[in-house]
Structure 1
């Protein structure tokens, strides 16, 4: 048996759940065969095509396969079994409760080698295995981790904090362990309202008492009774309350409101509980008829007491996590999950050099800009043009005052396309400093879309010209030039539309796709007598990629859903699946392939450029809990690492792909990295695809993503096909009967072709109607 370190001892009694392999058709008698104390063992499933670490659970007596251990456990045990360092036996703890339940098993691990290096390898795996399978963070862990956030923020950004945050920290520190854990649990959950009777956490033995403590401290609010809903000072958010209610509860609440209207009132037909959308419309009608207070009371009668985190407390914690992570895509849930063992982050140097906000006022203005942008997006999605225009009034005033042309200190000295600090500009709003920042320019872009929708092209042109005269959102400039030219053409001002397209081509900020779109506009508009001479670059404009057509009639189409076809196998399928079936035929090349769009390419990029992604560049890693540098989607990424990236690309093109892929995989498999899904693409499959694509092709793709990760994020061909026997690869963009290529897709096709890769378009066309 294992002996020695504590982690090894933990592995002795490792508990795990596994899924039975042949669940379909499982009978009650087969369920009973999983009796408690049934002996099992583990064996590596070496021929599994999807996961090289797949680990089978076998019956110890017959050797019959019962199922697989979870992927996160197999990833750690599999290499040990493959190297014959350990043998694993175990027993079933209890029979599954149903045909869909997992089977709990306790394992015993025997060490087969006494070499010190082998013992250490098993010990390291044991530590990771314990982290991967242990339950969610306890109350003590939650509080300890949040205290770490507080300490880091006060240490690094104390100048940005005020009495509001200080009072919160003092109040939170005075909470009991149960109340503090409940506060963090509620903050991490999607709400805002939660049923008091369903708050069940092991670290909160008395949820009602903890809620009372939070309310007394001003960190939570409750809605306990219909009478409270009728109070004049009560807050009513019927939509939020309705989100808590089940469909049946919504039905009963609506019925209760309608019953109060009297016998002569019009009744709405009772709807099946599953029709939630219809019930919500019915509730809206009841709100109009009876008022928000009555509707809130009717909902509370069904849901029982509710609790939510107080708005002020939520705002403070949101601000603290923004300062800690400096990313709207990350929050405390990532941090806590990492310490619970569910997530493993790469190791890199955390280096803060440049202050993002020089004052609290700048931070608050940035937050206000984010809130305004959220309100604008909500209004546009809801089709509420009046609310959207109200949010845009301040943005238009800022543009009219030329505030979008000014930069706040300390970015004035470092702002240019060649600056490695360019990504920090996105955090600037600075309205009170007569600066309209990155967020406001994005709002203005959305406002231009609204003007175009209303066909107010003259005003849209004016706003686009103002944005092009500013200093923010450089990656949006190509889109602004294109839309400016299109809007001028809508007004019949074709000569000006041509001039704007030509002017846009001189803009250094253009992405490849935007440049191609402008070039194609110029060639279309620049015909005699407007232009007698073709541009010098005309010959280099990407030609249309090769097109292949297959004939297939789509099945009955539903508006808003992708078309489906009858596949070659006789089963309904998507257009991409139909294309894969076509290319798999011997007469079409016998290709192996996948519908990946950019998925596998993002994996290749992150694996091959791992060294560059996590290089010690100042200010891009501000906490130990990031899956990518903060500047990845900006021009700063390539600028700040140019020499390193060029060296790596040279090695890739020279044939060093396999060595680099294996080294990164062995060293970092399982670590959270943007673009990589470790469970989706096994290493051996990646090596096969890489051999078919070739080093030159991979270097081309990686270069494009490194230079402009955001600009090249979309438009990659739908299918990647490979043929290991011929060491060939092909990329295919699939189009349905009424689809056409976008400019970004044309740009990808041209760039990949220039890199030596074969690219084509597969067009699925409908059969011609027969003549009667």
Structure 2
């Protein structure tokens, strides 16, 4: 069967007190992929994974340990896992007999030097070094460098070191395990240790319904495309020239999730092409990439190449689109420079609204932060002050939009242990859930938002959410926030957050002061950014503060100065 019912029992996680916990978690991964992605595996791959499940417990555990480690080559005499319950040699013998391991791999000189110590290698190559006119006491790196031309071919371990050494074994199906890892995690950036060596049971995860339609990969060819893109990125990281990697980049895919990963690959290829002097290739890569950083890089490169008219045309078209603050700021600077060079009318200068400021002079506390000192000074029984920084507004958003955040759209969830959707910071995160977000914002407009937030707060208590930090979001704080922050302000804040989640979910002020008894025209709350002596506002904090000022949201900057003695001013 290609895919099991979404009503299947959710897989459990192992207890770290079990010495074989890592095997339990690996078996969870293999079982999950067989249940939910079998149609993306060949018959041979499915059979191989079932053969893994049929191995003896010691053999399964030893192979899991080896798969989790770096590389594919291992010295048999260095494998020490007493929890197997049998000698490692016994488990190795089973794995070799069942073709999981190759006991006679050919080794390059470089691989040999990675596996063996300097003390073990010196006697082997002493004669070769002497014959080449080198001292046998060379450090390891220099010995390798000297010998590489003399030993260009891969040889068996016996040919290198003789017949009396313990074998080196090589994992045969590493590509299969990489494919399994990709389909489970949805990426190859995460290692096995991100799942297998972590005790997952101490967290609660939001149940997400898994169906064939919600998977990131619908066809095996899409998995292959991902693997090809991963290889391209590895080549770039290894220093392969961008012009050689460019022809290997897969064509655009209809799969939106794959398209976003291709956009990131092209952004990096463009960066490296520019550094390598391949400016035309860099322009092509930036222009093809849909990544939000690519457009500014393309325009700046066109400027450096003095192709000002071309840059002006692109920048003028881009100016009409929805932009994050950082994009708008960068684009405005480019347009201003281009206008001066081309004799065009400069874009209208946007005068940022003034940011409210005040200063406190306080005794320097023996312990605690400047934020805590300001909070204690500002606190009044009728105007409580809380340290919230990035937690409160994000938390309110996460509670209001909980069901939307965990909507099982394709490419969002790969397994039951996600803290949040995998596409959270992708540029199409909102667009793929637009109707659902619209329903959330409708709650702010018909005043049903309070009930929705409180219902989720009670029902989801302790469940992981990328926007909700449970220890900070107390009932007292939540109640005051819902009493004092108007829904219109929440909507403005949430809409800006969604313009660029990666950028905008940080930079919120440190403190929030509530005025629950205020019945006048002034707002019932104020956000306060605290800056100690010598500290200054960062760009993303300034952008939030300017947004607050322009939107009429009460916020200010508190500059704290220390006094040696006396009463605070």
TM-score of the two chains, using structure 1 as the length reference: 0.55
- After TM superposition, the structure 1 = structure 2 runs for residues 147-546 of structure 1, keeping only pairs within 5 Å, are 148-153=31-36, 156-158=37-39, 160-162=40-42, 164-166=44-46, 168-169=48-49, 171-189=51-69, 199-200=80-81, 202=83, 204-220=85-101, 233=107, 236-237=110-111, 241=115, 265=135, 283-289=140-146, 310=171, 312-328=172-188, 341-353=201-213, 360-376=220-236, 378-379=237-238, 387-389=239-241, 391-395=242-246, 397=247, 407-408=252-253, 411=254, 424-427=255-258, 438-453=260-275, 456=277, 459-460=278-279, 463-464=282-283, 467-468=286-287, 470=288, 473-474=289-290, 476-477=291-292, 479-492=293-306, 494=308, 496-507=310-321, 510-523=323-336, 525-526=338-339, 530-532=343-345, 534-535=347-348, 538-539=349-350, 542-543=352-353, 545=355
> Unaligned stretches of 5+ in structure 1?
1-129, 223-227, 243-248, 269-281, 380-386, 412-423, 428-436, 552-566, 766-772
> Does 1:705 find its partner at 2:497?
yes
Q: Give distance in 2, aligned partners of 1:543 and 1:139.
A: 56
Q: Give distance in 1, aligned partners of 2:208 and 2:109.
A: 47
Is the Cα–Cα contact under 8 Å of residues 188 and 332 in structure 1 kept in the other structure?
yes
SS at match of 1:388: coil
* Paired position in structure 1 for 2:544: 748
* Paired position in structure 2 for 1:421: none
- After TM superposition, the structure 1 = structure 2 runs for residues 113-152 of structure 1, keeping only pairs within 5 Å, are 135=18, 141-142=24-25, 145-146=28-29, 148-152=31-35
Q: Give distance in 1, aligned partners of 2:168 and 2:452.
A: 52
> Unaligned stretches of 5+ in structure 2?
1-12, 517-523, 562-569
Higher share in strand: 1
> Does 1:627 find its partner at 2:507?
no
Change (3 A) 1:215 1:643: same
Deviation at residue 316 of structure 1 after TM alignment:
0.3
Deviation at residue 373 of structure 1 after TM alignment:
0.4
- After TM superposition, the structure 1 = structure 2 runs for residues 33-48 of structure 1, keeping only pairs within 5 Å, are none
Q: Give distance in 2, aligned partners of 1:306 and 1:705.
A: 57
Q: Give distance in 2, aligned partners of 1:184 and 1:610.
A: 36
Deviation at residue 325 of structure 1 after TM alignment:
4.5
Change (3 A) 1:569 1:692: farther
Change (3 A) 1:375 1:340: same
Aligned residues: 528
Deviation at residue 518 of structure 1 after TM alignment:
1.0
* Paired position in structure 2 for 1:417: none
SS at match of 1:353: helix
Q: Give distance in 2, aligned partners of 1:759 and 1:305.
A: 69
Deviation at residue 610 of structure 1 after TM alignment:
1.0
Once the two structures are superposed, residues 728-768 of structure 1 have per-residue CA deviations (whole angstroms, 9 ceiling, x without a partner) of 342538699798854x5554333344444345568999xxx
Change (3 A) 1:671 1:354: closer
Q: Give distance in 1, aligned partners of 2:558 and 2:123.
A: 57
Change (3 A) 1:179 1:467: same
Q: Give distance in 1, aligned partners of 2:310 and 2:536.
A: 30
* Paired position in structure 2 for 1:113: none
Q: Give distance in 1, aligned partners of 2:529 and 2:170.
A: 50
> Does 1:757 find its partner at 2:547?
no
Match for residue 465 of structure 2 among 673, 681, 685: 673
Once the two structures are superposed, residues 367-425 of structure 1 have per-residue CA deviations (whole angstroms, 9 ceiling, x without a partner) of 0221220231x33xxxxxxx331x54241x479xxx86xx44xx3xxxxxxxxxxxx32
Q: Give distance in 2, aligned partners of 1:176 and 1:659.
A: 54
Once the two structures are superposed, residues 501-549 of structure 1 have per-residue CA deviations (whole angstroms, 9 ceiling, x without a partner) of 22321346x44431332134324543598234754xx55x645756779
Match for residue 664 of structure 1 among 456, 472, 480: 456
Q: Give distance in 2, aligned partners of 1:241 and 1:756.
A: 64
Is the Cα–Cα contact under 8 Å of residues 22 and 196 in structure 2 kept in the other structure?
no
Match for residue 722 of structure 1 among 488, 505, 512: 512
SS at match of 2:99: coil
Deviation at residue 234 of structure 1 after TM alignment:
5.6
SS at match of 2:511: strand
Change (3 A) 1:534 1:641: closer
Is the Cα–Cα contact under 8 Å of residues 358 and 557 in structure 2 kept in the other structure?
yes
Deviation at residue 203 of structure 1 after TM alignment:
5.1
Q: Give distance in 2, aligned partners of 1:451 and 1:324.
A: 32
Change (3 A) 1:619 1:492: closer
Change (3 A) 1:349 1:440: closer
Query: What's the Cα RMSD here?
Result: 5.2
Is the Cα–Cα contact under 8 Å of residues 356 and 555 in structure 2 kept in the other structure?
yes
Deviation at residue 163 of structure 1 after TM alignment:
5.5
Q: Give distance in 1, aligned partners of 2:344 and 2:22.
A: 72
Change (3 A) 1:651 1:220: same
Q: Give distance in 2, aligned partners of 1:168 and 1:741.
A: 54
Q: Of the two structures, which has the highest relative contact order with CA contacts closer than 8 Å and spacing of 6 or more?
A: 2
Q: Give distance in 2, aligned partners of 1:498 and 1:550.
A: 47
Change (3 A) 1:359 1:550: same
Deviation at residue 641 of structure 1 after TM alignment:
3.6
Q: Give distance in 2, aligned partners of 1:677 and 1:748.
A: 21
SS at match of 2:173: helix
Deviation at residue 354 of structure 1 after TM alignment:
7.0
- After TM superposition, the structure 1 = structure 2 runs for residues 21-36 of structure 1, keeping only pairs within 5 Å, are none
Deviation at residue 668 of structure 1 after TM alignment:
2.2
Q: Give distance in 1, aligned partners of 2:476 and 2:108.
A: 61
Q: Give distance in 2, aligned partners of 1:698 and 1:308.
A: 59
Change (3 A) 1:529 1:185: closer
